[in-house]
Amino acid sequence: MNRWPICGLPVGSFLQVISMDQQTCVLEVYQNADRQGRFCFVQGALFDAVCNGLEGEDAALEMVSWENVRLNIRQIIDAGGFVRKIDKSLMSILMEYSRRRDEAEEKRAGEEAEEAEAEDEGGEGHTFKKCLRILRENMGDALVSASISDLRDGKVLASHHDRKTLETAQLFINLTGSLRKAFERDPDRKQLGGHYILNLRDERTLMVLLFGDHQLGILFNHARCSLGLVWKAVIPKVSGIFETGDL
């Protein structure tokens, strides 16, 4: 234990202390049997570093990243035999380490985000987005607004929209709720079917398709894309994906 009297301090912080004190010494660093090395200082300047087959700047950058290390200082009286192999200042070494660490963290965060997105692609979210993509690709600028909502809590799950997307999506939800309540009061127990279509002003058509607790609301310009074309060519593609969850 006496061989390694200093424990727990970050390597980078201790290096700065040696540099500020302008010490001439060898700082031995030990993490485990396979990871150990040393820094060589002459009057506070970092001359060299060695660890695990690495030398110079590469060794210094490697050891700066080590955590939970033990340290030992060997004072050097005569440094005449030292050959400087690190031209950069200690601060430059520490800044380079920080840059590499930040880049590695950003890369790792990006990979984790990609993995999370890939996992999500197997669920409902991807199915919803694919439905909306088919609408955009097949209807072009005739598509004014489209949204997929959960009727249980009124939450909009995915949308392609105009400037008033939330208002339009909420309109779809409220309209379906009102129609369902109206049919509940009907003595003949009629129920809302799988879709309803409304002809609106300004050459617009509202089409709502119901899939259990979810609904797809589509608002489009029927002068640019006719109702017949939408119903026969577009809706079957969307319904097939929505109902089967086909990816």
Q: Domain of 151: which CATH number?
A: 3.30.450.30
Owning domain of residue 91: 6-116
In a domain, 1, yes or no: no
Q: Which of 68, 89, 116 is the last residue of a domain?
A: 116
Nearest to 63 by CA among 89, 31, 90, 85: 31
pLDDT for residue 220 is more than 50 = yes
Is 171 within the bounds of a domain? Answer: yes
pTM of the full structure: 0.47
205 domain residue, yes or no? yes
Interatomic CA distance for residues 219 and 206, integer angstroms = 5
- Do 132 and 236 lie in one domain? The reply is yes
Kindly state whether residues 141 and 103 are assigned to the same domain. Answer: no
Which has more pLDDT, 221 or 166?
A: 221
Average pLDDT estimate for 217-246: 86
Residue 160: pLDDT over 80: no
On whether both 199 and 94 belong to a single domain, the answer is: no
Number of structural domains the chain divides into: 2
Confidence tier at 32 by pLDDT (50, 70, 90) = confident
Do 23 and 55 share a domain, yes or no?
Answer: yes
Same domain (yes/no): 24, 92: yes
Regarding whether 166 and 214 lie in a shared domain, the answer is yes
Q: How confident is the model at residue 2 (pLDDT cuts 50, 70, 90)?
A: very low
Separation between Cα atoms, residue 31 and residue 63, nearest integer Å: 9
Examine the domain organization and report whether 128 and 108 are in the same domain.
Answer: no
**Residues 90-139: tens digit of each pLDDT:** 999 999 998 988 888 877 776 665 555 544 544 566 778 888 889 988 89
Look at residues 116, 150, 185 and tell me which one is the last residue of a structural domain.
116
* Residues 182 and 79 reside in one and the same domain: no
Query: Does one domain contain both 135 and 65?
Result: no
Say what the pLDDT of residue 46 is: 94
Q: How many CA atoms lie within 13 A of 132 on its CB side?
A: 22
- Tell me, yes or no, whether 171 and 229 share the same domain: yes
Same domain, 31 and 56: yes
Residue 191, domain member (yes or no): yes
Pair (103, 134) in one structural domain: no
